[in-house]
Chains A and B, each alone.
Chain A
């Protein structure tokens, strides 16, 4: 099979979880354990089942000891070894409890031959068999909990076809260098982030952005590594490789979230840390008490073993990570990246959602819609575009695009007046271009344009005034279309009970016109970029605030807010600046992110409640001597399985 086809097959077949070996391992132990344990169970219960003992005591004890030996000391060896070492090094874990429980039970069999105690040796094999079974089921469920994330980790392409000289080479992705030209055929994965230099095609980016419709890519378009080229051949120049790619960032982010502690988990973690030694002490005390008061060594041993094996730190320790894993996996699939696990907890306190206007509610691709000039329109556009060409601002780009000049005039003394406009000199003429605030500041009269400006603003246009030598010569109305789903998303947020506010640098009238289109009643206009964070702070006095912005200009506001939601499209996201990052730019992602956070957090709470309740109720019952050790072990296994399964149920939630 050609390497290329292998690669293609590969993309469909790497659903195999990394945990596979762990699961297989437990499964093998499980099967062998039960092969030996079932006869033990039949022997132990034969008197009750058939009314007579299949093998008479003490021979039955010897048979059980022989059958039980491999279960405890061969198939369970890892547990015994790990647990015993824990007892000596003081790094106790789950295994320490099981090891102690099973070994003690096994030893009773040997001592029973000398009539010292009753025989519990059968119990030891059964505990180990149930423990192994529980671990197996738990490992499967844990694998399921992380399936989306695992897919993400394995999403990257393995090889790339690069052009060097006039030849094509197929090389591993890790050897691709920045600047390499990569050929991507239809159906292939794009190996790394880059820019299209030749060809056109539709690219399916759903795996990293959650956006279901393919994006058309032409020359100059940015492509993301791991997305799938659909129908044309693309020549892509690699712009980012290795750790710098979008996918690598997402993976790092997901891993960081997973190893981060959420406040609500802190108590559980503290308990987990001291759990095993505490239980060891409790088991010893229980044993001593029972022996002293009942004078029955066998009974005391049975109760002690039950206490050892019923306690389950796993349910406590797994409660948060599993739910978070399922939640962040569900999110990643939809282009919602939870960067700070803490945001999930904070989200439920959030009362107000603040949206930045440009690029968040609107598409962020402004176009000049109307021009009104007292001078020659061509002349005005020429000087305007010559200055704006030097600025990176989206509005500047709109003006440059509109003018569509072949040649620009030479500009000297160019300066960007942040949040207001630009200034510079063309020849001897001083040109200032910007909003009405800037004109006011520079004492340039806009009197003769006043009516026109008002009508522009009522249409929701951002109005830019062009002045030459301190005299306004014309104005431009620039509009930024509202994203299709903004109206719906904002409606839904209000339904959910949030106060929705729009924040913008635009003037009041323009801002209100846009706000009206999407159903927002509260607008804070005329905000300079550097003041956004202050406005957020002011709103925080009335309750917790989520800020939704583009992550590049809004970084301080995102940081100031209680939950910062950064959005962008494709690889253009500033991942570092948000607590939650939306890979596709639609506002419905904000609603989904909020719903997902709430659902995940309530799952975490359920899990923690269950885990605490289980241990608080079960341990006293075991101490009271009301549980047979085998039943205790079954309860223990079920408790951690319940937690992981419950986390998996999060998937049923409609987000």
Chain B
């Protein structure tokens, strides 16, 4: 189990945040994802098998960009 804090650019509405959450949760091994529009940040809880690259891709798939990723 590990946790990431992702800084995301390109969000400007509430649907954006829920889109990113949806996309992150689709990644296999992700246990929970929560995105804050106000802070432009997302938090992800996932298995150790999940790579940072996969998470970045998930953000991109929803149409946004992960500009920073920090392991907690």
Contact = CB atoms under 8 A, between A and B. Distances in A.
Interface of A: 18, 22, 82, 85-86, 89, 91-95, 135, 139, 142, 145-146, 149, 252, 255-256, 258-261, 269, 272-273, 275-276, 313-314, 316-318, 321-322, 325
A95 B14 CA distance: 11
Contacts of B43: 255-256, 259
Which of B12, B34, B36, B62 is the most central at the interface, judged by chain A CB atoms within 10 Å of its CB?
B12
A472 to B, nearest CB: 54
B35 A259 contact: yes
Interface of B: 5, 10, 12-19, 22-23, 34-43, 61-63, 72
Contacts of A325: 38
B18 A318 contact: no
Contact of B37 (A252, A260, A317): A317
A273 B18 contact: yes
Contacts of B10: 82
A654 to B, nearest CB: 24
B3 to A, nearest CB: 10
Contact of B34 (A261, A276, A313): A261
9 contacts: A18-B40, A92-B19, A258-B39, A259-B39, A259-B42, A313-B13, A316-B14, A317-B15, A322-B38
Contact of B63 (A89, A272, A314, A321): A89
B23 A146 contact: no
A146 B37 CA distance: 11
A149 B40 CA distance: 13
Which of A18, A252, A259, A276 is the most central at the interface, judged by chain B CB atoms within 10 Å of its CB?
A259
Contacts of A276: 15
B14 A317 contact: yes
B5 A255 contact: yes
Given A259-B42, A260-B34, 5 more contacts: A94-B13, A94-B14, A255-B43, A259-B36, A276-B15
Contacts of A272: 14-15, 18
Nearest to A252: B72
A321 B37 contact: yes
A486 to B, nearest CB: 36
Which of B15, B16, B37, B40 is the most central at the interface, judged by chain A CB atoms within 10 Å of its CB?
B15
A273 B38 contact: no
B34 A91 contact: no
A145 B18 contact: no
A316 to B, nearest CB: 6
Instruction: Classify the secondary structure of B's interface with A.
Output: mixed
Contacts of A261: 34
A263 to B, nearest CB: 14
B38 A145 contact: yes
Contacts of A92: 15, 19
Contacts of B12: 22, 94, 135, 139
Given A93-B16, A313-B14, A318-B14, A273 B37 contact: no
A273 B10 CA distance: 18
Contact of B41 (A94, A259, A313): A259
A146 B38 contact: yes
B18 to A, nearest CB: 5
A255 B17 CA distance: 15
Contact of B22 (A91, A256, A313): A91
A94 B35 contact: no
A91 B42 CA distance: 17
Contact of A91 (B5, B37, B40, B63): B63
The 8 nearest A-B residue pairs measured at CB: A317-B14, A94-B13, A93-B15, A259-B36, A91-B19, A91-B62, A259-B34, A273-B18
Contacts of A318: 14, 37
Contact of A314 (B13, B35, B39, B62): B13
A316 B17 CA distance: 12
Contacts of A252: 72
A363 B37 CA distance: 41
Given A259-B34, A259-B43, A260-B34, A314 B22 contact: no
Given A86-B63, A142-B38, A93 B19 contact: yes
Contacts of A94: 12-16
B19 A317 contact: no
Nearest to B34: A259
B2 to A, nearest CB: 15
Contacts of A22: 12
B39 A255 contact: yes
Contacts of B18: 269, 272-273, 317
A314 B41 contact: no
A317 B38 contact: no
Contacts of B15: 92-94, 272-273, 275-276, 313-314, 317
A91 B39 contact: no
B65 to A, nearest CB: 11
B23 to A, nearest CB: 7
A258 B5 CA distance: 13
B39 A146 contact: yes
B63 A82 contact: yes
A255 B41 contact: yes
Contacts of B14: 94, 272, 313-314, 316-318
A18 B7 CA distance: 12
A153 B11 CA distance: 20
Contacts of A149: 39
B38 to A, nearest CB: 5
Nearest to A25: B12
A269 B35 CA distance: 11
Nearest to B21: A273
A145 B43 CA distance: 21
Contacts of B22: 91, 273
Contacts of A82: 10, 63
Contacts of B5: 255
A259 B4 CA distance: 13
Contacts of A146: 38-39
B36 A91 contact: no
A615 B30 CA distance: 33
Nearest to A153: B39
Contact of B13 (A18, A93, A258): A93
A192 B41 CA distance: 25
A139 B38 CA distance: 10
A91 B61 contact: yes
